[in-house]
Amino acid sequence: MLTALSIKNYALIEDIKIDLQQGFTIITGETYAGKSIMLGALGLLLGKRADYSVIRNTQNKCVIEGTFDISNYNLLDFFKREDLDFEHVTIVRREILASGKSRAFINDTPVTLPILVKLGDLLIDIHGQHQTLSLGENQYQFQVLDVLARNRDLLLEYRRELRGLKKLEQDLTVLKEEQARAIKEHDYNVYLLTELEEAKLKAGMQEELEERYEELNNVEVLTEHLGSAVNQIRQEEIGSLSTLKEVRGSIGKISGLSSTYAGLQERVQSVIIELDDIAQELENSLERVEANPEELEEVNNKLQLIYNLQKKHAASTVEELLEITAALRQQVDMTENAEANLEQLQKEIQNKKLQISKIAAAIHKNREAVIPGFTKEVEKIISDLGMPNARLKIELVLQKEFFSNGQDQLSWFLSANKGGDYADIKKAASGGELSRIMLAVKSILAVNSKLPTIIFDEIDTGVSGDIAQKMGDILQKMGNTMQVISITHLPQIAGKGSSHFKIFKEDIGETTVTKIRELKTGERIEELAMMLGGDTKSESAMAHAKALLN
């Protein structure tokens, strides 16, 4: 419950702070005194978007702070989930700077507005002056039934699965578009793939072919120079090997004289062995070199094929052509397996629809189960509020279509008078009747939702006299189990409060400010008398005011 509210530098409010209690609290004041301003500030505290124009003095920041006793409302899981420090007395603060920026804090930890909204939804329900009209809106009607039916977890699961279904349907659309394009290009892709596969490309193939081409294309040059090199090494009299052998012989004659000469002889012997090996390799190469016009033409044709494919596919290496081949093969396979892929995805979609339908059926069943008790309870309450012949009828029809909150079509109908026909509730009920029905709905919801605090902004619009008295009784009864705050113009309701605050304007110098103070018993009598009889404060008005306060 809200135990304290502080507002600084907001619109006409300079600095106010009020302490609030459990039970039924009344707020009254002249028209335009600032009641809506206070509700606007409270809305900011609960996560509404800020407008820097609300700052009273742009030299200072606007600060709205609320203190909440949350010890009895099982909110520990929320605080853990949002990684916040849990305190039995939790302080929520909103700051708005002249620059237009705003900051929000929960127990001095900075938070985003969505988190503030989530916490606000768990703490306070503000029923604004125009919210009564939402009774005729389908979204609110569903919300009422789903609170009573305890459908929260099922709806979360339904929406999660519905998002999954829409993703699968998007995938199906994309797949169909891709396959339509692929089918158009299929024949050409098959032609390109066949051409590449027939080339029998391998990594490193181009370099090997280019090297072989150079050998075959230069047979005469190779024969001439390889033969010359072999002769220069192998010639008996002037060849390199003969010369080295003579050197080895000369050194061998003196090798016994010194280890130096022996070492030199070994080195010459190593050179002879290496040179002999080189000569052997040159001879082998010379034997392999022979003119082969057929192989030369074959190698040239293979190279030309590679060059043409590289030009065609804007590739510079055989490796790139191999990557293009793999991509084309995948594209062709996808096209040829199109039906199988489509069937698989369509099967997944069908299974997902069946799964969602089961959840929607459970949601429907829960809603259907609470309707009889809910309509009976509403009728009982509004009967006490001067609508004894009014009947509420709720129709819930399961559809094939998936909506955002299930598969139900929902309609609320009202017969306001005895023997009257049922009509859509927003057409069948007057403003005062809507207020009474809304109060009945809210009082039922209050018990089921277990909200700590509910605030009514003139829920009594369009009623007076004995009906107002009975509305006050309902609000007072609600205050026995939760904190109820009512902004009202009706003395019959104001007299039911366990505490009473008055909002008023005051001129300070050249400035008008909005203030609020809690009224004591005597002040409450005077306030009720004024509400009853204007400014006269007549004896009858005072007596009536005392009677209202018992």
Which residues fall within 8 angstroms of residue 501, CB to CB, at 6 or more apart?
Answer: 18, 25, 26, 27, 28, 516, 517, 518, 519
Please tell me the distance from the alpha carbon of residue 311 to that of residue 315, in angstroms, as a whole number.
6
* Average pLDDT over every residue of 13-41: 88
- For residue range 459-491, list pLDDT tens digits in order: 877 777 888 889 999 999 999 888 999 999 899
Which residues fall within 8 angstroms of residue 128, CB to CB, at 6 or more apart?
Answer: 39, 457
* Average pLDDT over every residue of 2-17: 92
Please tell me the distance from the alpha carbon of residue 458 to that of residue 490, in angstroms, as a whole number.
9
The dihedral region occupied by 458, where left means phi > 0, alpha psi between -120 and 50, and beta the remainder, is left
The dihedral region occupied by 477, where left means phi > 0, alpha psi between -120 and 50, and beta the remainder, is alpha
Confidence of residue 65 (pLDDT cuts 50, 70, 90): very high
Confidence of residue 127 (pLDDT cuts 50, 70, 90): confident
Q: Sign (positive/negative) of CA torsion 150, 151, 154, 160?
A: negative
pLDDT at 462: 75
pLDDT at 200: 87
Task: Please determine, for residue 416, whether its predicted confidence score (pLDDT) is greater than 90.
Answer: no
What does the mean pLDDT of the chain come to? 86
Distances (CA, A) of 460 to 190, 259, 278, 490: 77, 125, 114, 8
Q: In the numeric block, which tokens belong to residue 156?
A: 């979360």
Polymer length in residues for the chain: 550
Confidence of residue 82 (pLDDT cuts 50, 70, 90): very high
pLDDT at 494: 93
Look up tokens 């995938």; give the residue: 171
Give the torsion through C-alpha atoms of 275, 280, 284, 287, to 10 deg: 100
Q: What are phi and psi of 289, to 5 degrees?
A: -75, 115
Q: Which is nearest to 502 in space by CA: 489, 519, 485?
A: 519
Please tell me the distance from the alpha carbon of residue 54 to that of residue 58, in angstroms, as a whole number.
9
Confidence of residue 534 (pLDDT cuts 50, 70, 90): low
Lowest mean pLDDT among 171-180, 237-246, 343-352: 237-246
Q: Sign (positive/negative) of CA torsion 114, 118, 120, 124?
A: positive
Domain spanning 1-129+435-519 has what CATH number? 3.40.50.300
Task: Please determine, for residue 117, whether its predicted confidence score (pLDDT) is greater than 60.
Answer: yes
pLDDT at 148: 94
pLDDT at 506: 87
Stretch(es) of the chain classified as CATH 3.40.50.300: 1-129+435-519
* Average pLDDT over every residue of 319-328: 89
